């Protein structure tokens, strides 16, 4: 399955507290759980298809053992809406903390296995761990 990943507010904290820039709890477990899927970035750090910047950001806050997984994440090309970067001919899950109404509306006609999961590590710091046990292990 294709898995699309945002970074800020999804894998790394972006709230203006002492957690700013720190990896979310359960990030290593999350990365290990998705490693055998087709991974893509869907972040403002990668709009033109070059995954170098998001890879660099995530490698900074993760253990070296996880770097091969991070380096396997491919870039996407999109402009105004992240849904433009998604391959709609395939099943996928897109993890993001902020989905616009316009993007959400694109899912009205989506297939059952084309999903977006809204991640909220701000109010639910263990959200990635929850996703690993309740979503990713079922894939």
Partner 1 sequence: MVSSLGQDKVNGKIESMKWFKNNTAELMLGLGLTIFLINFFTTQGKNEYFVSIPLVVLGSLVLYKRHFIPVKIPQQIANENSFFNNLDEDGEDDLYEDAKEAVLEGGKASTSYIQRRLRVGYSRAVRLMDMLEDKGVIGPADGSKPREVIKEK
Cβ burial of 14 (10 Å; 0-12, 13-18, 19+) is middle
Minimal distance in Å, beta carbon 98 to partner 1?
7
Among 2, 9, 37, 91, interactor with partner 1 by CB under 8 A: 9
- Residue number, 63 or 118, with CB nearest to partner 1: 118
**Residue 130 binding partner 1, by CB under 8 A:** yes
- Using CB under 8 A as the binding rule, whether residue 1 contacts partner 1 is answered as no
Spell out where 6-136 has E strands.
38-41, 92-96, 114-118
126 binds partner 1 (CB under 8 A): yes
Residue 110 has phi, psi (to 5 degrees) of -75, 155
Binding range to partner 1, per CB under 8 A, among 31-39, 59-67, 84-92, 111-119: 111-119
Q: Put the strands of the sheet holding 114-118 in their side by side order.
A: 38-41, 2-5, 92-96, 114-118
Please report, as residue ranges, which positions from 24 to 83 form the binding site for partner 1 (by CB under 8 A): 25, 43-45
């Amino acid at each position: 399955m294709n898995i699309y990943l945002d970074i800020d507010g999804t894998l790394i904290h972006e709230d203006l507290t002492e957690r700013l820039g720190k990896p979310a709890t359960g990030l290593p477990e999350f990365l290990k759980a998705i490693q055998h899927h087709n991974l893509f970035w869907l972040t403002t750090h990668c709009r033109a298809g070059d995954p170098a910047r998001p890879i660099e950001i995530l490698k900074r806050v993760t253990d070296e053992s996880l770097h091969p997984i991070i380096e396997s994440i491919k870039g996407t090309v999109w402009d105004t809406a992240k849904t433009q970067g998604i391959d709609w001919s395939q099943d996928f899950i897109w993890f993001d903390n902020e989905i616009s109404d316009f993007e959400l509306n694109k899912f009205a006609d989506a297939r059952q296995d084309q999903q977006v999961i809204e991640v909220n590590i701000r109010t639910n710091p263990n959200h990635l761990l929850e996703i690993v046990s309740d979503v990713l292990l079922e894939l």
